[in-house]
Amino acid sequence: MAYIAVKGMQDIYKDQAASFNYIEEVFKAVCNLYGYHEFRTPILEYTEVFDRSTGESSDIVRKEMYTFLDKGDRSVTMRPEFTAGVIRSVVENKLYATEDLPIKACYVGPVFRYDRPQLGRYRQFTQAGVECIGQDSARVDAETICLAIQILSMLGFENLTLKINTIGDAESRAKYREALKAYFEPKISTMCEDCQQRIKLNPMRILDCKVEADQEIAKGAPKMKEFLSEASEKRFYETLSIIHDLGIEYEIDDSLVRGLDYYGEVVFEIHAKSKAGIDYGALLGGGHYDGMLKTFGGPEMAGVGFAFGLERVYSVMKDNDLFKELDNGLDVYVMPVGESVLDDVFELTSEIRTLGYSAETPFAALKLGSQFKKAEKRGAKFAIILGEDELAKGVAQIKNLKTQEQKEFKLDQLEETLDDAFGEDDDDGCGEPHEHSKEETK
């Protein structure tokens, strides 16, 4: 048997891992601007956590969960999404019992869905998202949408479209479900097997169906807005008016219902297009919910949240060259000339790192030509070259690999030399400060 990754799962390393880190950093930095704090909940939850909140009518719970019995015969599930676990945590830890509402939770980590693997769809993927819990207001909805847009804008996305809809309160949704049932019932025998289940569990899910013939039938279905209560309609227009005042453009999409059962009232997605107009579909989705805390034995409290998949965001960013500013290069490549200086070069490399600059050395006295090739591959900014003669004089050579300028420096002035070299490199005429990884070591 060949040792390969589990179907639908992928290894992420090197540039892709660095890009994921970058996306996570931007995500966390923008969340911080809005007062969010990170939640790290377990990957495994008792299965009821998802059954009862994500919902038995959702595709996720019906057929996509990695569920198994643990050694104590308890049914556990690898999280297929974050919201249910975060709300479970808020209730279990009684975090809602504070004057300081709303609770603003952000998270990032792997989720697992036994989906059909295809381009851009994995069985393990990474979600980043937020939940704002405990204050029910159109302003909270609007702030959350604004946060979502700011994250994607800070990542460099330009052609974004906010699609928004309301699926109303519980009463509006109950009436709507009845109307959809009546509409789909005479047609359901011609529709896909999933839809035949969906009509029994939650006919709103039919509107999410990806089968083209079913989508055609769904086009003629009654619209949510005909069943909206006055309160839900008012709430929706309040949210729209606030986001309009924030200068955010939106498109009302009355077919948008979202695939998870816990949503109510406002739901939204953010879609992206390339400069040339290629439509990438939804990058991020979210909405408002109100019954979830109660489901877990907590108080009646509303929340609003969203999540995006890092894999999706990464591939669209790569397609649009949005990582070109990323600098993952090494500061210094330290080159030994001859076997006899290997130990000294090894120590010198270590000293450079303690000064806060990233450094590597080949551990062997390779020919200088191949060392320069390695340095280039690693994106090194400077090379430090040390041979026996230099060592005897207490000096070494430092070479700027961009300008090819080379000069001698005294080894006991290493720190000043590096600070100078990287300081000078800042004034290279590009205007932008030059990045290097010097950490504050004091």
Site for ligand AMP in 246-285 (CB under 6 A): 259, 282-285
Instruction: Give the nearest distance from C-beta 193 to ligand AMP in angstroms.
Output: 20
Q: Is 46 helix (H, G, I), strand (E, B) or coil?
A: strand
User: According to the binding rule CB under 6 A, does residue 308 interact with ligand AMP?
Assistant: yes
Per CB under 6 A, does 312 bind ligand AMP?
A: yes
Tell me which stretch binds ligand AMP (CB under 6 A): 40-48, 115-123, 243-251, 346-354.
115-123
CB of 408 to ligand AMP, least distance (A): 53
Sequence-separated contacts (24+) of 344-347 with Cβ below 8 Å:
344/386, 344/391, 345/386
Structure tokens at 211: 């089968």
110 contacts ligand AMP (rule: CB under 6 A): no
Kindly report the CA angle at 333 between 332 and 336, in degrees rounded to 5?
135
User: Is residue 81 at the binding interface for ligand AMP, with CB under 6 A as the rule?
Assistant: yes
Handedness of CA 197, 201, 207, 210 (dihedral sign): negative
Residue with smaller CB distance to ligand AMP, 224 or 283: 283
Please give the single-letter amino acid code of residue 279: D
User: Which of 198/312 has CB closer to ligand AMP?
Assistant: 312
303 binds ligand AMP (CB under 6 A): no
Question: Could you tell me where the DSSP H helices lie in 124-228?
Answer: 138-154, 170-184, 193-201, 212-219
In the list 24, 48, 51, 115, the residue contacting ligand AMP (rule: CB under 6 A) is 115
Environment class of 415 (CB within 10 Å of its CB; exposed 0-12, middle 13-18, buried 19+): middle
Out of 104, 113, 198, 271, the only residue in the binding site for ligand AMP (CB under 6 A) is 113
| CB closest to ligand AMP, residue no | 309
223 vs 201: CA distance, rounded Å: 19
Could you give the angle at the alpha carbon of 232 between the alpha carbons of 228 and 238, nearest 5°? 130
- Quick one: which segment of 176-184, 192-200, 304-312, 371-379 binds ligand AMP (CB under 6 A)? 304-312
Number of residues that bind ligand AMP (CB under 6 A): 17
Q: Which is nearer to ligand AMP, 311 or 425 (CB)?
A: 311
Nearer to ligand AMP, 257 or 348 (CB): 257
- Please report how close the Cβ of residue 309 comes to ligand AMP at its closest, in angstroms: 3
Q: Among 168, 161, 166, which residue's Cα sits nearest to residue 251? A: 161
- 58 or 349, CB closer to ligand AMP? 58
Q: Residue 307, interface with ligand AMP (CB under 6 A)?
A: yes
Considering beta carbons, is residue 109 or 259 the nearer one to ligand AMP? 259
Binding of residue 155 to ligand AMP (CB under 6 A)? no
The pairing of beta strand 159-166 with beta strand 103-112: unpaired
- Using the rule CB under 6 A, which residue among 309, 314, 383, 398 binds ligand AMP? 309
Tokens of 377: 């591959």
Q: Considering beta carbons, is residue 208 or 425 the nearer one to ligand AMP? A: 208
Task: State yes or no: residue 311 binds ligand AMP (CB under 6 A).
Answer: yes
Rounded CA-CA distance 18/395 in Å is 35
Tell the smallest beta-carbon distance from residue 271 to ligand AMP (Å).
Answer: 10
Peptide bond into 102 cis (omega under 30): yes
Kindly state whether residue 121 participates in binding ligand AMP, applying the rule CB under 6 A: yes
In this structure, what DSSP letter does residue 222 have? P
DSSP summary character for residue 121:
B
The least CB distance from residue 205 to ligand AMP, in Å, is: 13
Interacting positions 178-207 with ligand AMP (CB under 6 A): none
Helices (H), 211-367: 212-219, 230-245, 292-295, 310-319, 342-354
Among candidates 54, 123, 133, which has minimal Cα distance to 89? 133
- Is residue 55 within the footprint of ligand AMP (CB under 6 A)? no
Which window, 102-110, 158-166, 306-314, 410-418, contacts ligand AMP (CB under 6 A)?
Answer: 306-314
- Cβ burial of 423 (10 Å; 0-12, 13-18, 19+) is exposed
User: Is residue 131 at the binding interface for ligand AMP, with CB under 6 A as the rule?
Assistant: no
For ligand AMP, the closer CB: 60 or 301: 60
Our measurement of the distance from residue 42's CA atom to the centroid of its chain's CA atoms, rounded to an integer in Å, reads 18
Contact 124/81 with Cβ under 8 angstroms?
A: no
Instruction: Supply 230's token pair.
Output: 């006055």
Binding footprint of ligand AMP on the chain (CB under 6 A): 81, 113, 115, 121-122, 125, 127, 259, 282-285, 307-309, 311-312
